[in-house]
Structure 1
Amino acid sequence: MKDKHIIKVGISSAAIAHSPDLLRTTGLGSCVGVVLYDEANERAGLAHILLPDSSLAKSEPIHIFKYADSSIPWLIDRLTAAGANRNALKAKIAGGAQMFPSFSGSDTIRIGERNIEAVSHLLKKAAITVTGSDVGGVTGRTIEFNPQTQQLRIRKINEPVIYI
């Protein structure tokens, strides 16, 4: 039996895993962690999305994992290439906190909310059901996904660990 490894996904990064490996990302403040998974094939992908839309890019070429509109299609393509069933993909999302609540009126500062909206819209457009989410609030998160159990472990400072 293969040993379990933790695949760490940094900010503006993404990775694919197969059971028994786990996917983990830390530092989800206003960023959103998107997990796509195929339960039957025990494959999953995780993207740590920084911004909602690549049209915000100031230079070419864009860094695809930085944006929701480019990283989600990448995850779908790579998971399918790795043996996942495109029609069986489901999603779990976490993050999108309002890290500066006193500035919540500014659209520029509402990045967490805008990230959540973009991710939700893109997943709906791709016909991928969101089976669990822990989004918003004012606290950052660390998440870890297990492709074998399909559980997303969510840890926040000074709060109990939750699983979705």
Structure 2
Amino acid sequence: MAAYDFSDYEAVSTIKYRDYDGSIKEMHPKEALSFNGENIPYETQAITYFMVAQLLEQANLNLENSKVVLRRKAGELYNQFVVDEELVKRNNGKKPTDAMINSAINADDDYVKLNLQVNQLQTKYSILKDLFKAFEQRKDLMQSLSAQKRAEYNIGSNTVLRN
């Protein structure tokens, strides 16, 4: 089995976003997700979760919009290459095959740039989706710890000591 080397991969250390007041803020996922059993951040969980959900929706919108632009460019190029004289000539004077047209589309610089942009937006969306899932897991863990603390408190307060 081949080993995968991700040593040159740049891990996400911060996520920059525009806050409700218009200011640019940074979120450090590791810090935002961490807590301990003694200090459970109930007051920030919901708002941070909501903010990540909003960022996820915006990333999804940007991704879907870029896919529309990519499909439009592919359609324009298809129509252009269907009647391209060089492709017709290479196909013995006949309409170019779909394979020839698709190859020409995939080689177009503008199409490649748009495709790379879609890939970048897909990566950003996936990172935010994973962060959103991590906040859901954090919420579940916070609930479990709270329930455990309540149970420990109730056991301690219901204990009767006899001499």
What range is the shorter-chain TM-score in? Answer: under 0.3
TM (norm. structure 2) is 0.27
Q: Larger Rg: 1 or 2?
A: 2
What is the TM-score when the length of structure 1 is the normalising length?
A: 0.26
Relative to its length, the structure with more helix (as a share) is 2
Q: Which structure's relative contact order is higher, taking Cα pairs within 8 Å and 6+ residues apart?
A: 1
